[in-house]
Each structure stands twice: as C-alpha cells, then as structure tokens.
C-alpha cells in the first residue's frame, strides 16, 4: 500500500486523478456488463421463437411465450404484438418505436461517462507531464552549472508517468465503449428486424 502511495505521489495530483478515473472506469465496465446481462442483451432465442409462432398464425401462443419475459427484445416485440391487436397500424408502429427508443436509452446508459473518461484521461496525463517538465527545467535552471543530468532524467521520467497512466486508462475505456456501442447497434438492428416481421406478417394476413 505504501509503495502504491509513493508511486502516485511521484506523478503528482494528475496521477491521483488518473488513478481515480481508472477505478471509475473499471466500475463502469463491470456495471455495464452486469446491467446488459440483466436486461437480456444477449438473449434472443425466446423472442425469435415467439416471432416465428406469430408468423405461423399461433398468436396466443406467441404472446404467452413472451408474457413472463423481461429481456429488452421481448419488451419491444411484446409491445408490437399487443399494440397491433389493439391499435391502428400507424399508432401501433409509433408506440413500438417509442418503447424501442426507451429501451435503447436504458441499454446505452453510462456510455457517455466512458466516452468522457476515454477523452480526458490522456489530456490529464499530458497536463501532468507538462507540469512535471516545467518543474524539472525550473530545477535545472536553478542549479545552473551544477546541474546533475541524472536528477534531470529522473524528473523527466517521473513527469512522463502521467502520460503513460492516462493512456493506460483511456485504451481499455475506448475498447469497452466500442464493444458496448456494438451491443446497442445489434439491439437496434434486432428490434427493427423482429418488429418488421411482426407487422409485415400481420399486413400480409390482412391483405390475404
């Protein structure tokens, strides 16, 4: 513990800020994984089965299959099926789109914080390096002809710690952000695909 504190003190306040950002980043990533798992972001089979039943004309069985489901796909598809039975086509589509947008906002929560961390962590690291370099060169100026190259190199090394630390936080934050964005994009695609199949089959049945 003492070694960790000494290491952080070498980088100054900027390194402490970056350390705090690293803890927040790890917490956000773990929370998002848990949240998406709880929301059923990776569960599709039950909803796919319900849509297939709906397309086969087994309306009640399809609705029963989704009745107890809490996953995000099930919420959107259940809304599409129920509103199709109780509302006009345009109103049903509008309500389904509203629910889909709300669900996507829920699954996308926390991503702006990750985006912010990925942006500011390298900047905080760079700021710490600049401030450290200023201190190192001020010490060099004060020492005059008696400057110790080893001491100057040590000061620069300590200053560069913050840049490396900032990048070490920003890289996993950016990777996690890209992954979570891809999950949301996949959900949006699935919502469109599944609800289109619900409404298009209903329209085809009506036309027939």
* pLDDT of the residue at 5: 75
* pLDDT of the residue at 184: 96
* pLDDT of the residue at 135: 76
* pLDDT of the residue at 18: 93
What is d(CA 116, CA 110) in angstroms, rounded to the nearest whole number? 10
* pLDDT of the residue at 155: 65
What is d(CA 87, CA 196) in angstroms, rounded to the nearest whole number? 16
Q: Which two tokens mark 142?
A: 């004060």
Q: Which two tokens mark 186?
A: 């996949």
Write out the chain's pLDDT in tens, 208 residues: 677 777 667 767 888 899 999 999 999 999 999 999 999 999 999 999 999 999 998 999 999 999 889 999 999 999 999 999 889 989 999 999 999 999 999 999 999 999 999 999 999 999 988 888 887 777 767 666 565 666 566 667 777 888 999 999 999 999 999 999 999 999 999 999 999 999 986 544 444 4
Q: If phi over 0 gives left and psi between -120 and 50 gives alpha, with beta otherwise, what is residue 46?
A: alpha
| R_g over Cα of the chain | 27
What is d(CA 187, CA 23) in angstroms, rounded to the nearest whole number? 28
Quick one: which of 50, 186, 207, 15 has its CA closest to 108? 186
């Amino acid at each position: 513990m003492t070694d960790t504190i000494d290491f952080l003190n070498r980088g100054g306040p900027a390194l402490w800020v970056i350390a705090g950002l690293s803890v927040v980043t790890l917490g956000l990533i773990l929370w998002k994984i848990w949240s998406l798992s709880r929301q059923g972001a990776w569960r599709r089979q039950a909803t796919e089965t319900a849509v297939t039943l709906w397309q086969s004309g087994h309306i009640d069985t399809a609705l029963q299959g989704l009745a107890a489901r809490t996953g995000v796909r099930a919420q959107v598809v259940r809304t599409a099926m129920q509103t199709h039975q109780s509302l006009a086509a345009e109103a049903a589509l509008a309500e389904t789109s509203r629910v889909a947008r709300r669900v996507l906002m829920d699954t996308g929560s926390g991503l702006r914080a990750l985006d912010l961390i990925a942006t500011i962590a390298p900047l905080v690291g760079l700021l710490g390096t600049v401030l450290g370099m200023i201190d190192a060169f001020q010490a060099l100026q004060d020492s005059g002809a008696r400057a110790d190259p080893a001491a100057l190199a040590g000061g620069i090394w300590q200053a560069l710690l913050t840049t490396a630390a900032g990048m070490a936080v920003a890289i996993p934050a950016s990777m996690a952000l890209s992954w979570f964005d891809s999950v949301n994009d996949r959900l949006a695609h699935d919502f469109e695909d599944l609800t289109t199949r619900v409404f298009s089959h209903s329209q085809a049945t009506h036309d027939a």
